[in-house]
């Protein structure tokens, strides 16, 4: 566990360090890069809604009662690092995501339950993702007002299958993002436009690594009668905190 925390912290620190190191030479690298260009860093805050296309059915291992897992909405905080590549409209990305108010039935490491602890157990782990992000509709076609993107990535998040032998496992994560830049039509000298602030909606689909029909997760608590429903909707806002390079 300590090693996992150290690794996660190191990766998040690397995101910040690499971005800040690129700051002085950002413009030059953007013009002359041959593979990966200078990165940009943004901070996003959003609401994440799970099970947007229906909820999985589970059987209580004690009572045998079958019910649906309800959809939940959690606050999501995210650092998003993106680096344009030499391939037009294609970027590499790394994210660190935290759900500060997510709850779980028991601490996944000590296995003490919320009732035993007298309050609640926060599922406040950090998930990491890295992959490729492509422009379907670049900002240049909408006068900087709107963009549509698609991504595919490797998601490193808490284990979810009975046979998982690591606290965190790798999962295939795909999705689409619609971005709206509400200040893009303001005067170029306005502070709001210069901020680069944006609104976004993400439809996310975790394609592997989630519970399947028959999985007993958590062990002795519930058995999945149907497979987990991996689609989630994320609605939020973001702002660049290091150089932002616009797609051309």
pLDDT value at position 166? 87
Can you point out the beta strands (E) in the chain? 40-50, 57-60, 66-68, 73-84, 90-98, 103-104, 121-122, 126-137, 146-158, 168-180, 198-206, 222-224, 231-240
d(CA 214, CA 128): 28
pLDDT value at position 120? 61
pLDDT value at position 167? 83
pLDDT value at position 47? 94
pLDDT value at position 172? 97
d(CA 175, CA 232): 9
Residue with tokens 């303001």: 186
d(CA 69, CA 223): 11
pLDDT value at position 35? 84
pLDDT value at position 73? 87
pLDDT value at position 114? 54
- pLDDT single digits (tens) 50-107: 989 988 999 998 899 999 988 888 889 999 999 999 999 999 999 999 888 776 654 4
pLDDT value at position 111? 47
For the question of whether the overall pTM of this predicted structure is more than 0.95, the answer is no
pLDDT value at position 33? 77
Domain ranges of the chain: 2-240
Which residues of the chain register pLDDT less than 70? 1-32, 103-123, 243-248
pLDDT value at position 19? 43
pLDDT value at position 164? 86
């Amino acid at each position: 566990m300590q090693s996992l925390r150290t690794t996660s912290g190191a990766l998040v620190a690397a995101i910040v360090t690499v971005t800040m190191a690129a700051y002085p030479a950002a413009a030059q690298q953007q013009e002359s890069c041959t593979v990966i260009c200078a990165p940009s860093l943004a901070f996003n805050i959003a609401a994440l809604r799970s099970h947007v296309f229906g909820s999985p059915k589970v059987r209580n291992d004690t009572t045998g009662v079958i019910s649906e897992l309800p959809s939940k909405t959690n606050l999501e905080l995210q650092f998003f690092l993106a680096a344009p590549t030499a391939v037009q409209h294609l970027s590499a990305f790394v994210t660190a995501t935290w759900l500060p108010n997510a709850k779980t039935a028991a601490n996944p490491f000590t296995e003490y339950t919320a009732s035993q602890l007298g309050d609640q157990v926060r599922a406040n782990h950090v998930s990491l993702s890295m992959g490729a992000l492509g422009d379907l509709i670049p900002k240049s076609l909408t006068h900087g007002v709107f963009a549509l993107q698609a991504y595919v990535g490797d998601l490193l998040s808490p284990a979810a299958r009975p046979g998982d032998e690591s606290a965190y496992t790798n999962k295939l994560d795909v999705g689409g993002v619609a971005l709206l830049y509400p200040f893009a039509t303001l005067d170029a000298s306005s502070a709001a436009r210069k901020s680069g602030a944006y609104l976004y909606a993400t439809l996310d689909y975790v394609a592997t690594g989630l519970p399947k029909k028959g999985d007993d997760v958590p062990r002795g608590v519930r058995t999945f009668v149907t497979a987990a429903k991996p689609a989630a909707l994320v609605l939020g806002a973001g702002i660049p905190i290091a150089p932002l390079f616009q797609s051309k």
